[in-house]
Chains A and B, each alone.
Chain A
Amino acid sequence: MSRTEAEKPILRVEGLTKRYGSKEVLKRASLAIKRGDLKVLIGPSGGGKSTLLQCINFLVIPEEGRVWLEEREIFHHRKKELYQFRQKVGMIFQDFNLFDHLSALDNVRIGLVRVKRLGKAEARARALQELERVGLKDHIHKYPAELSGGQKQRVSIARALAMDPSVMLLDEPTSALDPELISEVLAVIKDLGAHGMTMLMSTHQIAFASEVASEFIFMEDGQIVETGPPLKILSDADCDRTREFCSKITELYNTSF
């Protein structure tokens, strides 16, 4: 890969704006992510992190703004292109959103069979491989109701990985988990990062995030307030509001930087 190739953003969004009635919940958000980057969205709940992530793959249709994946602009009203695009953008949800009627194996396999149109055997092999990667080889036949929260989230990560995404969006992947189960999911995310997966993640796990992120993006009131390297944002932010948020959250998690 030439240097210029590596410098090109995989995912770029510009001026994303979402309104509900007269209320703007996302205000002209722009960002770009290069290959292998892990950028982390931080900020108070209701600040627009989830909306931004869901607008990027058009689960929520933004009123304004443009999205490019690997230099190609995506137009959400062209359904075929939209479905193709979403295959390339893995999404992890706070509540896992596994398909309740399918075993772990089938949860991972169904997208391969129904969307990617892989053969049965090939889809099964790929699904097994991804489940093994997230450490669930022994649980492939269990249904979501039989899995712990951490296991469910790992299945959902395997499900996203199986589609060979160019970039992954993670929407507070550990917020619905018991404290004891958080680390197993974080370990998987860390491993993804180490293998060069490009990710945009919102989280409140500040200590973990500062360890793995290449950049922090602080959001509040639907706006991107400030971006920068994790240490700078946490200890020496330019914006007052960012400093206030970070001092509270670091105090809360009893960590210092």
Chain B
Amino acid sequence: MDELHFIWQEVLPALWRGFGVSLQLIIPSSLFGLAIGMSVGALRVFGRPLARRLADLYVLLFRGFPLVVQLFMWYFGLPYLGIYFSPFLASVIGFSLRSGAYQSEYVRGAFLSVKHGQMLAAQALGFSHLRMIWTIILPQAFRRALPGCGNEIIYLIKYSSLAYMITCIELTGEAKIIATETFKYTEIFLIVGAVYLILTSFASWVLHRVEERMRIPGFEYLKA
């Protein structure tokens, strides 16, 4: 019974606190990541050569460097330039930029899959370049990119645990603290694992619902 009492009194409140911080990291980061991915993806397909190069460089850097290194740069590196971010802000920036780099790749693929003829048709109707991308290409590309983008959001949920490396104490961070104090690594991290599993399951359910909502004839995925 001691065990249960301990979990109820000590572990759950701490994990609950951490869970809240995790959500505060995940939700804005995934939304910013998606927005960055859409814009950078569009630039990489439709941008002028210079913009395209810069966008490619962004993806190269933010996909190429390990995430932990990126977080260290935002939190420990930038103060050398006189820029200070809180652990939370540094984490959100780090996650958003990394996620955006990956998302842009899914989005780029989806943009390329939209049939060229539709762009000619839009131009022939008098659409400007930007309006064509916004009203004709993006809605189709978004539908095609959704499964990939959802995948990246699931990843993000899990790598949000790296925030504790720069002292932003979220779910994993809280767990680590209690585990070190009590040496009950197995029990505590099993609970933490289960929480991440619930989070990712919930996210994939939501993403699936979004896919359902946006389903239109011609865009459905073949069912086995």
Contact = CB atoms under 8 A, between A and B. Distances in A.
Nearest to B129: A79
Given A101-B143, A101-B219, A95 B117 contact: yes
A67 to B, nearest CB: 14
Given A143-B217, A145-B217, A79 B117 contact: no
Contacts of B127: 83, 111, 114-115
B125 A97 contact: no
Given A79-B128, A111-B126, A114-B135, A98 B216 contact: no
B121 A86 contact: no
A147 to B, nearest CB: 10
Q: Which 4 A-B pairs have the closest CB atoms?
A: A145-B218, A97-B121, A91-B124, A87-B126
Q: A95, A99, A115, A159: which has the most chain B beta carbons within 10 Å?
A: A99
A99 B121 contact: yes
Interface string B207-224: 000000000111100000
Interface in A67-123: 79, 83-87, 89-91, 93, 95-101, 110-111, 114-115
B136 interface: yes
Interface of B: 115, 117-118, 120-128, 131, 135-136, 139-140, 143, 216-219
A101 B121 contact: no
Interface of A: 54, 57, 59, 79, 83-87, 89-91, 93, 95-101, 110-111, 114-115, 142-146, 156, 159-160, 163
Given A100-B140, A101-B139, A144 B121 contact: no
Nearest to A84: B126
A145 B218 CA distance: 5
Given A100-B140, A114-B131, A59 B120 contact: yes
Contacts of A59: 120, 123-124
A158 to B, nearest CB: 12
Nearest to B116: A97
The dominant DSSP class at the B interface is helix
11 contacts: A54-B120, A84-B126, A85-B126, A97-B117, A99-B122, A100-B118, A100-B219, A111-B127, A114-B131, A115-B131, A160-B125
Nearest to A91: B124
B125 A87 contact: yes
A86 B123 contact: yes
Contact of A91 (B121, B128, B143, B218): B121
B125 A159 contact: yes
Contacts of B136: 99, 110
Contact of B126 (A86, A144, A156): A86
A81 B63 CA distance: 42
A74 to B, nearest CB: 13
Nearest to B220: A145
A144 B219 CA distance: 11
A146 B123 CA distance: 24
Given A87-B126, A100-B115, A93 B121 contact: yes
Given A86-B125, A144-B218, 6 more contacts: A59-B120, A86-B123, A91-B124, A99-B121, A110-B135, A143-B217
B123 to A, nearest CB: 6
A89 B117 contact: no
